[in-house]
Chain A
């Protein structure tokens, strides 16, 4: 146990990333209690575009809404997009990667070909195309981003399976007559979960950025629900006259994505056996 404490202490990345992530989760969960005003109902044109002050810490936007409240509520969108779309990504990637690596042959060729095609399409363009098909809206953002980035998880999973499926404990499981699904999901998957987890935390950061981009382009979350990307889009014209409109949502994106990347890096260092051998 002491060993673990020591290990974690040395990982500043992991600690910083975890703290940032936990703060975002906390803010998203308790948004109604933390936000001083309602993010869109409390609009008052009399107080539009006020600079940051003691009363409005982050200032107000062109419709007189408190930016702090909107940034706090925006975390809910970003976090749910990150978690849900990455969950979809991971499930798709794990299922295809596991089966491709385990069964090999034609199925492997097909999955690898499709994954390579997916990787060669710019992901924002692909997500845009899916959004154009489905129409704007938060649920559709989940689906579009969920379908976009699974190829990374798929490839990582597949390569890990290739290394693991010849381990003797997998052979022993086959020799005992365990079914394919049992071998794949109960014997191989738990042993390759580390790299998949790392991919998932990095993928979450990616998804949050993509959602911001989609909202910026007007295809993501629809107003008046605040999302960080949407807030940036609305603040574009006041970039020079009222910079706080874009600075605070931009900072929120930056800190969240940085935190998730640190978390992913830290997890990689922690879970990678090659790194942990060298003390």
Chain B
């Protein structure tokens, strides 16, 4: 018996050693990526976290004294409205993206045929140019003398140009325009991977196309939907450029508020606190989404 015990003990030890070696190997292979992530993601985040507990001097200099003042000021500063508005706009954008993106993805996955790759390519191509340039391109379409107004006036639909730029509509439109591809792609991936025989089985069992869609297709592509939602929702909450360019700086979203604190007010610690709170809110939302949608959503998003 003792011999056996010894055997299993040494075996266990060997196993442990092997495992440790494997972890070490993985770490070694991944080290460049780990270093990049630590330096460019965690370190800046840590700096922001550090700043958020410091004081701001009379001229906006950073004073290295620990304080909870910023967090208190933010909680009591009436910023709830700005955060809620951002979340509302993000949900709205998300919903519209699903409404527009799902049929597009569905069409490409089901009826794309040989041209599937071309369609997907066309959806990805605009993302190759800078986000800012895409937004400015859209801006030239919607101005009083922009393409849309000129076209409508020329064909006689309207006599006076309609005001699109600097309205809530313009902000929503630009947000949807900017983030739609990030919704289409994961949904497309989910739909494309859908097993056709499941659908056939549903039909054989007497499901109407409508029922089949809601009982089979939609639940099976939930992962893609959630992945798209993560990709659209998170950047939209922190959006700063769109309200600036399309809302005429009249609408403040959470991202604009952080930028405002950093530059216009010059209070870096308070701006950092806001940024941390925004990040915390997003992490919470992400956590809830994953909990609800399972790991599948996260994997699709990645």
Whether chains A and B associate is no
